Each structure stands twice: as C-alpha cells, then as structure tokens.
Chains A and B, each alone.
Chain A
C-alpha cells in the first residue's frame, strides 16, 4: 500500500515571514520523512452519522428570532483525490465570519456587529459522487493586526479528514475578484502556482432564482500513489 506524500509545491511552508505569527510558531528544523504505516493509512471516520438536520444550512442553524442578515449563498463542489476519484461520505466542517466581518468567537474584538441569528459554524457530508452542498451568508472582510491596515479577504474555513490520516486538510475558500487577495499574506503564503485552487468560482447554474447566489469549489485531497485500477 502506498500513498502520495505531502505535495510541498501545493502547500505553504511552515515559516512565511510576511505572515508574522509564523515566525515563532512554524517548525524550523527539517521534517522527518517516515515510511507510511497503518498509523498513517488509517484515520478517523466521520460521515452521515456525524451531522444534524440543519448543520448544512448556516442561514438556519443559528436562528434565534429571525433570519441572519447578509447575502445568502450556496456553495457546492466535489471532494476528490488526485486521481479525480470522488470521496463519498466525507465530512466537511465549516466556520466563518458573519456578513459584517465579525466572528462569534469571543476573542474577536473587531468593532463590527454580531448577528444574533448567525452562528457561522456548520457541517456537511459528501454524497456518493463526492458532491457536497451548503447554504450560508457571504462572509465579510475584517481587519487584523498582521501589518498596517491589514484586512483578510472574504473567506470560509473548511476542515476535512478524508480517507486517512495523511489526507487531513484545513483550508480556506476565497471568492473570485476579491481585491484583498493580492494583499493577503495568508493567501500569498501558498506557492504561486497553487493559489488559484483556493478561489471559488461564481456559478449561475448553482444560483437559485430569487433566493441565493451560487459558488463552485472543488476540494482535492491526497490519495493513493498509483493510478488505481478501475473497479
């Protein structure tokens, strides 16, 4: 059994000084390459039994006394491996800021309003074809302390386990045409040729008339090394 290694032409290095907190937190000694064992080729299994009925609708799962404010969006795509094989029954965990750019997290002190009807956390699971879909509010941009007048582009945080311990992925999905992307050291920490993979595309075929704009975003996880035999 053999698995793809971490692709360092796709993933950011541990220390990227333009993103200041990497300087004291990113490992600096060389990573130790080890042969894969059962410990790496297994991993936590979370699927349909892990989610509640409203988990895939962030416009509903935080409601207290009304609808959350902001632009409703639908995000969909496929989770596949590097051979384009669909990854069914795979959990995606989702968290994000509200439309005003404020996280409900108590550490977030950005002076923008909390939306009492928006939590900003959700989950969904891929179907038999690897497709996922969730409904949410488009997150706002927000300022952060990395450098003078620093603002994060609009983004949604995503977390996936995939089929094994090696396929663990935590990432962020961005939106097309966002002028803040050019100025964002977190986005730019990604190798140049791989950055576009983090940007969703507007999709009119996902857009629902009179309801919500649609965005498409595929997620590619690490997978088996050899091209698998068709089964």
Chain B
C-alpha cells in the first residue's frame, strides 16, 4: 500500500470567524458547533468554564479559536471507537464545542456543558482541547481537569506523565464565589505558567 505523508498544518489565521464560528460573530452562515457543548436538558451536572488565553507578555489574545471534546456524564464518547456498552451513550450529546475569543470585551471565553464522567475507569474527568490562533502554525492540544476531583486527578495516568510542577496548569479551579458550578481555566501560551501542551 502506498505510503502517503501528512498534509502540513498552517495557521488558522485572523479571519476564521465567518467560516468556523459564524453565528457567534454574527455572520450569515450556520455554525456546526458553539459554546453550548451541552444543552440545559443534557443529563449530568451542568457546569460553566470561563477563561482567557494569554500571550508571552500576559496580554489576553482576542483572536484565538478554542475547541472542546469530551465524554458525557457517564464517561462515554459519542464516537464509534468508544463501544463500551456499560457506559450509557446519550445520542443527543455530541460532546464538541467551539468558541472564538473575539466577541467579549475581555477576550474571554465561556462554555456551558456537563461535567464529563471518568473515562475508561482510569482517567479523571477531563475535557480535551485544541488551541488555534493567528501566530500558531500548528495547533496545540491540551486538557482541562477539575479542581474538585483531587483524588481522581492524583490517580490519572495522563497527569502522571506531566512534570509535577506543571500539573496545576491543567486544572480548572472551581469558583466558589459565583453561583452555580463555574470553573476558571486560563491558558498561558508562554512564560512561567505556560500551559502544558501535549504531543499526541
């Protein structure tokens, strides 16, 4: 069988909004995904995650595109490769969300979803992320874990592969001051607190 070589990545550029998140930015085109990863009726604990993306000088980035991929409340992915029958599939929950940081004054993002269940009996609840922006020729992969899952986080096999002093960059902090289940997750592209990005 002929071997083919991967098509190289190129930057998403500054003008992705009308193609990838058109409804969020008010363009006349439908969106395939938005900030609502789950509906209000989706089974599970409804949560909100807010945050910002910072560049190497600590300036919030207003033209990042963030993508979120997660299991449902039972820890099951809506994908053929996850065929574990003992974890209940919710056909109405795709598990994918997408938001640009260009529609709020603070260049912040906010997603509404349900807290994912533990995946494959070993991994702590987490949301997988893709980070894209002008100035990134290749996108970056990261994960969001939750500050109120300390026991499961301590046993998580992926966190275990991350240097201990950098693990905190992957943990969304539950904000007790706000009503409802709100977590804050900031992404630092560079610097002391640079978020851990994965080579997968």
Contact = CB atoms under 8 A, between A and B. Distances in A.
Please say whether chains A and B are actual partners in one complex.
yes
Interface residues of B, number: 78
Contacts of A127: none
A190 to B, nearest CB: 4
Given A38-B82, A119-B29, A220 B5 contact: yes
A72 B13 CA distance: 24
B38 interface: no
Nearest to B79: A42
Nearest to B53: A25
Interface stretch (B41-49, B106-114, B157-165, B178-186): B157-165
A220 B7 contact: yes
Interface in B20-54: 20, 22, 27-30, 32-33
B10 A26 contact: no
Interface residues of A, number: 87
B10 A171 contact: yes
Contact of B10 (A35, A39, A83, A190): A190
Given A7-B6, A25-B61, A84-B3, A168 B16 contact: no
A52 interface: yes
A170 B9 contact: yes
B14 A25 contact: no
Interface stretch (A158-166, A175-183, A206-214): A158-166
Contact of A119 (B14, B27, B96): B27
A43 B120 CA distance: 15
Contacts of B90: none
A157 B19 contact: yes
A211 to B, nearest CB: 25
Chain A to chain B: the 8 pairs with minimum beta-carbon distance, closest first: A95-B19, A21-B135, A12-B137, A25-B135, A42-B79, A44-B96, A31-B199, A24-B56
Given A34-B161, A170-B132, 4 more contacts: A34-B158, A38-B119, A50-B32, A169-B6
25 contacts: A10-B7, A13-B137, A14-B136, A14-B138, A19-B11, A21-B134, A22-B136, A25-B190, A26-B135, A26-B136, A26-B189, A32-B166, A32-B196, A32-B199, A34-B158, A39-B69, A39-B123, A44-B96, A61-B29, A105-B15, A122-B19, A172-B10, A186-B137, A197-B5, A198-B7
